[in-house]
Amino acid sequence: MTSTMTTTCTSTAMLDRPTLHTPVGGYSSFSGDGREERLVSALLAHKDELQGKPQAVLEAIDRFAEGEYLMNVGAHKGQVVEEIIKEKGAKLILELGTYVGYSAIKFARHLLSLHPNGVLPPSWPSSPPLSSDARQFVGYICLEKSASYAHVANTLLGLAGLGDITKILIGPSTRSILKLHALLPALAPGTQFDLVFLDHHKPHYTMDLKALEEGGWVGKGTTVVADNVIKPGNPRYLAYVRGKTPVRIDKEEEEDGEEEGEEEAEAAQTKVHVGQGGEEAGEGVGEKADEQATELVVQDVELVGQDDTGDVLEELEEVDEETGTVIAGVKRLRYESMLVMSWDPYTGEDDGVEVSTCVGLQEEM
């Protein structure tokens, strides 16, 4: 079980869509029945062959999942995120929902190749540095509610040689976000993640994105990728990010020459351009994926839920059940969003990821 591929390559083993079928064992259980521990045992049985080889570890996880279904992003959807990481030159990534560590292995490996001299989490200080050293911080931060899943993920990340670049924080996602500055004291207020990957409890996507907005962790330039927006689906989250599409107002000067003999007059004409995340917005991801013989399909999204001032309409109040904290988000923060169609890596069922890039506050448009 050896791999001749470098750690920055994307495997093509799972890029072909599998024949549509139900998961082995049916739909009665997807996780938590001991399969995660069996996965660890299966991979550690080949420790000498897998140690320090992220791609080989990913391929071994995929082979295991063909017999026992695992809730992983898979190679095809994962490739979308990998391209974004490389295009952005991402340094700081936040993942919500780590499970067995598949996506953390797949994505975190690129941080090491992009920033070989970066300061990794074990070397981060206990308080924000006074100098520009913070710009050298590189890390893949994971929020995972389950301590047992976190243990599995840490074991497999260590096997892949990625233990130092990753840091798993255990606890409910919303509560962890609300105290993230205390959990990551080296990151000064105002520090933003380059990329956020949402793959945890689906009803928490919207509330947790709002909490990240309020904490300043998501801002202009941050890309948020949400998995499983088709299967099982997440209409509330999609309505939120698509409803925050920017309304840009530009003023152009025109000559008014309708009446002969009048002096030339300049009139400001207002034009509204809606960023719909269509073909142009998806060009970078889609074209690169096509070059690798995949079938990524980027769909346009419509402007929904805004009034004529650009405010999002009919937002439901988000309340953290454990603390009672009302989480409103930053209402005038805007995203350009697109849906990239894909499939479940092990069953072939339709699925997709929503890629939303924050473009700043409405008044900056």
- Tell me the pLDDT tens digit for each residue of 90-99: 999 999 999 9
Residue 313 scores a pLDDT above 90: no
* Tokens linked to 254: 């025109």
Find all residues with CB under 8 Å of 17, minimum gap 6, and list them: 76, 295, 343, 348
- Tell me the pLDDT tens digit for each residue of 177-195: 999 999 999 998 889 999 9
Instruction: Pick left, alpha or beta for residue 306 (phi over 0 → left; psi -120 to 50 → alpha; otherwise beta).
Output: beta
Burial of 93 (0-12, 13-18, 19+ CB in 10 A): buried
The residue among 48, 166, 175 whose CA lies nearest residue 103 is 166
Residue 270 scores a pLDDT above 60: no
* Tokens linked to 310: 């650009």
Q: Give the pLDDT score at 17.
A: 77
- Tell me the pLDDT tens digit for each residue of 147-167: 999 999 999 999 999 999 999
Q: How far apart are CA 141 and CA 124, in angstroms?
A: 13
Q: Give the pLDDT score at 178.
A: 94
pTM for this one?
A: 0.77
- Domain spanning 35-247+282-364: CATH superfamily: Vaccinia Virus protein VP39 (3.40.50.150)
State the DSSP H helix or E strand holding residue 177, giving kind and residue range, or none if neither.
Answer: helix 173-178
Q: Give the pLDDT score at 363.
A: 77
Segment 169-173 long-range contacts (CB within 8 Å, at least 24 positions apart)? 169/141, 169/142, 169/143, 169/144, 170/144, 170/145, 170/146, 171/143, 171/145, 172/145, 172/322, 173/96, 173/97, 173/143, 173/145, 173/200, 173/201, 173/204, 173/208
- Tell me the pLDDT tens digit for each residue of 14-45: 467 766 656 555 555 678 889 999 999 999 99
State the DSSP H helix or E strand holding residue 361, giving kind and residue range, or none if neither.
Answer: strand 350-361
Find all residues with CB under 8 Å of 88, minimum gap 6, and list them: 194, 195, 223
Q: Give the pLDDT score at 260.
A: 41
Q: Give the pLDDT score at 304.
A: 40
Give the confidence band of 9 by pLDDT, cuts at 50, 70, 90: very low
The residue among 145, 149, 151, 195 whose CA lies nearest residue 172 is 145
Give the number of other Cβ atoms within 10 Å of residue 298's Cβ.
23
Amino acid at 194: D
Per-chain mean pLDDT for the chain: 79
What's the chain's length in residues? Answer: 365
Give the number of other Cβ atoms within 10 Å of residue 317's Cβ.
8
Q: Give the pLDDT score at 122.
A: 96
> Of residues 119 and 11, which shows the higher confidence score?
119
141 neighbors 184 (Cβ within 8 angstroms): yes
| Rounded average pLDDT over 54-81 | 94
Q: How far apart are CA 361 and CA 365, in angstroms?
A: 7
| Rounded average pLDDT over 67-90 | 94
Residue 271 scores a pLDDT above 80: no
Q: How far apart are CA 79 and CA 107, in angstroms?
A: 9
The residue among 223, 355, 233 whose CA lies nearest residue 286 is 355
Give the confidence band of 293 by pLDDT, cuts at 50, 70, 90: very low
Q: How far apart are CA 72 and CA 36, in angstroms?
A: 12
Q: Give the pLDDT score at 193.
A: 98
Residue 226 scores a pLDDT above 70: yes
Q: Give the pLDDT score at 25.
A: 55
* Tokens linked to 77: 């959807």
| Rounded average pLDDT over 345-358 | 93
